Amino acid sequence: MMGGYGDVQLLRDDGKRLDGRAIDEMRPVEIKVGVLPAAQGSAWVKQGLNVAVCAVYGPMEAHPRKIQRQDRAVLDVRYNMAPFSTGDRIRPGFNRRAREISKVTAEALESVVLLERFPRSKIRVEIEILAAEAGTRCAGITAASMALADAGIPMRDLVVGIASGKIQDTVVLDLDKAEDNYGQADLPAGICPNTGELVFLQMDGDLSIDEYNLAMEYNYKAAAEIHEIMVAALAARYDGGEA
């Protein structure tokens, strides 16, 4: 992803980013739950211009039998980008990137869902990206944990997906499209807002240890902010707007 870094100006003279954000400022986040009536639980997350929607079904009997676990449920997670979600249309169907993101998202959620309550079952988590502007896997993880909560699936904690990265040798929070394309590093993380545990972590590019620490500090700061929005979204659905 790190094509031609250094030659594209991503920071303005006043130290702000091209869209006017400060280096430790995330894009606006909006969240709603209960958006898909046919689903048991659902959530809609808009982060910048990204739109991720997730539906949850289950627990139900796991099929085929060979995927059943006698002592717990399995999470069947699909991350999919709608054909119109990107600049060039994506042909529907299997792709390696979606498969990898589905796998790591499932593993992130497995760390918080109380799977042992549902032997031999599966819980289906369907993440659809309707608009992509860098950071869709993170928006997808946030949406998935919200949809699971909305479905009444027991969990130890929610999960917030958020990324920091590096542009023009500067660590910044929540890369947008241009910053992702021309930046030097991307560090997406899945953070449990209450325990502070990390359940998802990827990185590519080039970061010093100090830069990593700063990027992660930004991620934690943003996770706390997004968590407040998540709690408010659940309260809006179930508590007439007050947490």
Partner 1 sequence: MAAPVPNLLRQEIERLAADDKRIDGRGRWERRAVDLEVGLLYNAEGSAKVTWGGTVVYAGVKFELRTPWPDRPTQGSLMCGAELRPVAHVKYEPGPPSPESIELGRVVDRGIRESGCIDMESLCIVPGEKVWGVMIDIHVMSDGGNIFDACGLAAIAALRTAIVPAERFDVGEDHVLGVSSTPIMASFTRAGGRFVYDPCEEEELGGDERIHITLGDTEHLHSLQKGLKGAFTPAEFAEILDVARKHCAELRDLVASKEGN
Partner 2 sequence: MSQGQDGAEQRLVTPGAAIGPATGRRVGTGALIQGDQIIATRVGLVRERHGTVSVDPVASTYMPRSGDLVIGTVVEARSNLWFLDINGPFQALLPMSLAPWKVEFGGTRDHADINDSLLMRVQEVDEVQNVVATMRGIGLRRLAEGAVLLVDVQHNDTLRAEGAALLKRLRDLSDCRIVLADNGRMWVDGEDAGIDWLRSLFRDVAAAGRTDTLNSIVEHHAANAPNRGEA
Contact positions toward partner 1, by CB under 8 A?
A: 35-40, 42, 49, 51, 53-55, 57, 60, 78, 80, 82-89, 92-93, 124, 126-128, 130-133
CB of 158 to partner 2, least distance (A): 5
Element housing 73 (H / E)? none
Q: Would you give the binding string for partner 2 spanning residues 159-188, x where CB under 8 A is met? A: ------------------------------
Q: How far apart are CA 78 and CA 72, in angstroms?
A: 19
Element housing 166 (H / E)? strand 160-167
Answer yes or no whether residue 230 interacts with partner 2 by CB under 8 A.
yes
Q: Which of residues 65-84 bind partner 2 (CB under 8 A)?
A: 70
Q: How far is CA 168 from CA 16, 42, 72, 172, 218, in A?
A: 12, 38, 46, 10, 17
Q: Can you read off the two tokens belonging to residue 202?
A: 């990827």
Neighbours of 219 (CB within 10 A): 25
Q: Can you read off the two tokens belonging to residue 40?
A: 């048991």
User: Based on CB atoms, which residue is closest to partner 1, 55 or 112?
Assistant: 55
Answer yes or no whether residue 190 interacts with partner 2 by CB under 8 A.
no
Q: Cβ(205)–Cβ(165) under 8 Å?
A: yes
Q: Which does 39 bind (CB under 5 to 8 A by kind): partner 2, partner 1, none?
A: partner 1
Which residues lie near partner 2 (CB under 8 A)? 34, 40-41, 58-61, 70, 112, 114, 117-121, 149-158, 192-195, 230-231, 234-235, 237-239, 243
